[in-house]
Amino acid sequence: MPFLSVISGEESATSRLLNETLSRFDSLGFKLQKKNEGGDWFDLFAGLRTGGLFEGKRIFVVQSAELLGEFPERLEPFIEKESDCGAVLVYNNNYSKFFSPGTDGLLSVVKEKTVPKWNNQREKWLIDVAEDENICLDRDAASLLVEWVDDPEEIRAELNKLAAAIHSDSTITIELVRQLSLDEGRNCLLGFLDGISRCSVKSVARSLEQLRHNNVSLLYVITALFNRVRIALYVQHFSPQWKARIEKNLKVRNYQMKMVREMMKKYSVEDIDILALELMSLSYREKTGKSRGWNEFETIIFSFLSEADSKIK
């Protein structure tokens, strides 16, 4: 009698979970005999029970297992916890609604781990993933990855790509993430935002030139800068006990907050307030075709930098 192994998760994750599950079965001597989508429960069990005497360990894979419908109670007595044959059933979440309580304890279930939505929780998740795979990942590198890459499976793929680029005993640093994980446009934008935060005229000028050369949308750059300035705006105008709520509501990640703290050291409250107002005004004019484009944006930026630079001196 066959065993049933269930994989449940988002579509982007089930492919990885299936590969991991098949690798595990392969190491146990199982051979993949059949792979199909949906089907019929009774046909599936008939196929699993009619193998040849000398066929050895074998498994079937059923993708889009939701198409099988509800599991028939008549087949419950035929499920084994361990067997030389079985089926791997791939569900896009919510597999439990297809099985009765009578199957509890009979199914082997592999579920995608829930990925947190919020800043440092998501960062910790990535660091834990790296540790599970014996990859040494710097905290700032993890923060930058979760800031720029939304999809968890894409983050995992980036992590493995970065790990393959270093020696096994080396650490994935923020410099390596910038070099290998960010495309040229995103790297330029990050350099521009960090240059603003650190009041680095040289870095800002170089990044602006690259952004213009790469035809990055001005509105995209304005929005990215405003999103960072907005965090500083809220933090400096609200009392410290609001900090956690601000970070949660604005989905502020650790790397962003680190750069915001840099910004608040370099500029006055008034300077940041004025920059936020000018960016909102320019954004509106850019959308309505009334701005002077990059020239006006650069005038605002270098005026902002010069104000801070004069105060530092």
The domain spans of the chain are 3-111, 119-180, 185-312
Average of per-residue pLDDT across 192-219: 90
In the prediction, which pLDDT does 309 show?
61
Work out the average pLDDT over 262-277.
93
Residue 89 has pLDDT above 90, yes or no: yes
Q: Check if CATH label 3.40.50.300 holds for domain 3-111.
A: yes
- Is residue 90 predicted with pLDDT exceeding 50? yes
Higher pLDDT: 118 or 85? It is 85
Which stretch of 156-160, 188-192, 240-244 has the lowest confidence by average pLDDT? Answer: 240-244
Neighbour-count burial of 50, counting CB atoms closer than 10 A to its CB (0-12 exposed, 13-18 middle, 19+ buried): exposed
Distances (CA, A) of 254 to 71, 121, 146: 46, 10, 10
- Alpha-helical runs (H) found in 66-216: 119-132, 139-148, 152-164, 174-180, 184-198, 201-213
Band (pLDDT 50/70/90 cuts) for residue 313 is very low
Indicate the CATH number for domain 185-312: 1.20.272.10
> Please, what is the Cα angle at 190 between 259 and 170, to 5 degrees?
85
| CA distances to 103, 145, 177, 254 from 119, in Å | 38, 11, 18, 7
For residue range 59-75, what is the model confidence (pLDDT) as tens digits?
A: 999 999 999 999 999 99
Q: Give yes or no for residue 46 having a pLDDT over 60.
A: yes
Give me the phi and psi of 31, to 5 degrees please. -115, 135
User: What pLDDT, on a 0 to 100 scale, did the predictor assign at position 199?
Assistant: 92
Spatial separation of the C-alpha atoms in residues 286 and 296, rounded to whole Å: 10
What is the Cα gyration radius of the chain?
Answer: 27
Mean per-residue pLDDT of the chain: 86
pLDDT tens for residues 101-153? 888 888 999 887 777 776 667 888 899 989 988 899 998 899 888 877 778 88
Closest of 108, 143, 177 to residue 255, by C-alpha: 143
Q: Cα 113 to chain center, whole Å?
A: 13
Q: Closest by alpha carbon to 254, among 188, 174, 181? A: 174
How far is the C-alpha of 208 from the C-alpha of 149, rounded, in Å?
23
Whether the pLDDT of residue 170 is over 70: the answer is yes
pLDDT at 245 over 80: no
Q: Whose CA is closest to 209, among 224, 223, 188?
A: 188
More confident residue, 250 or 296: 296
Cα distance between residue 283 and residue 181, in whole Å: 29
More confident residue, 116 or 26: 26
CATH top-level class of 119-180: mainly alpha
184-195 average pLDDT score: 83
- Write out pLDDT tens, residues 192-204: 999 999 999 999 9
d(CA 88, CA 203): 53
Our measurement of the distance from residue 255's CA atom to the centroid of its chain's CA atoms, rounded to an integer in Å, reads 15
Predicted model pTM: 0.53
Torsion angles phi and psi, residue 139, rounded to 5: -60, -40
